[in-house]
Amino acid sequence: MSVFTRLRNLSLVPSALPALLFDSRYRRLFAEMRDFAQRLPQALSNRSLPDCLAALTPPTSDLRLPTSSIRRLADLTALLDRRSPLGLCLRRSLVRYHFLRRAGLLVAIEFGARFKDGRPDREVAGHAWLTLDGQPYFEEGENYQGFTVMIQFPRLTTGDS
């Protein structure tokens, strides 16, 4: 993780604090996100990834808050859930995915893999991130570049048959 990414993560607390202190809607949403994040390991252990993602996809848009605020709260939620057995990128992507789709933002989640250091004799690293209209959504290039996408949900149609 780069220094820039670490600093951005540290800035989540002061950027989210005013909304959490002064707006009960954000406090309720943050509590809901925390509960959601804590239930993710169990949700993922009971079914296949596509089935889990389908279950995490909200049927309707019922969240009426700015998507930038939702994204920051989702990122803070994932960052604070340090006891989770899930990696930070997976927690962040799943929380973002669920709540941003509830806000009507049609993001997709992608899972990729690459060899560490780009060499096939090394370990394989995995990563999860969101896309919007086929482009990475608020994701640093260093975090997704070089990964081969293995799963995309929901799958984007390209018009090819």
Residue-wise pLDDT for 69-114, tens only, equals 999 999 999 999 989 999 999 999 999 999 999 999 999 999 999 8
| Residues linked to residue 110 through DSSP beta bridges, in sequence order | 129, 152
Most confidently predicted of 45-49, 94-98, 115-119: 94-98
Closest by CA to 65, choosing from 37, 30, 108, 17, is 30
Look at the block and give the residue holding tokens 């989640």: 109
Closest by CA to 92, choosing from 106, 102, 103, 81, is 81
Q: Give domain status of residue 158, yes or no.
A: no
pTM of the model: 0.86
Query: What are the backbone dihedrals phi and psi of residue 64, each rounded to the nearest 5 degrees, phi first?
Result: -115, 65
Q: Give domain status of residue 20, yes or no.
A: yes
Q: Give domain status of residue 145, yes or no.
A: yes
Domain that holds residue 111: 3-153
Write 5-11 long-range contacts (CB < 8 A, 24+): 5/140, 5/142, 5/143, 9/75, 9/79
CB contact at 8 A, 81 and 34: yes
Q: Give domain status of residue 128, yes or no.
A: yes
Q: Give domain status of residue 99, yes or no.
A: yes
Q: Looking at residues 19-40, what average pLDDT do you find?
A: 94
Closest by CA to 130, choosing from 146, 153, 150, is 153
Which secondary structure element, helix H or strand E, spans residue 134, and what is its range? none
Length of the chain equals 161
Q: Give domain status of residue 100, yes or no.
A: yes
Q: Give domain status of residue 161, yes or no.
A: no
How many domains does the chain fold into? 1
Q: Give domain status of residue 112, yes or no.
A: yes
The tokens of 72 are what?
């920051």
Provide the pLDDT confidence category of residue 16 given band limits of 50, 70 and 90. Answer: confident
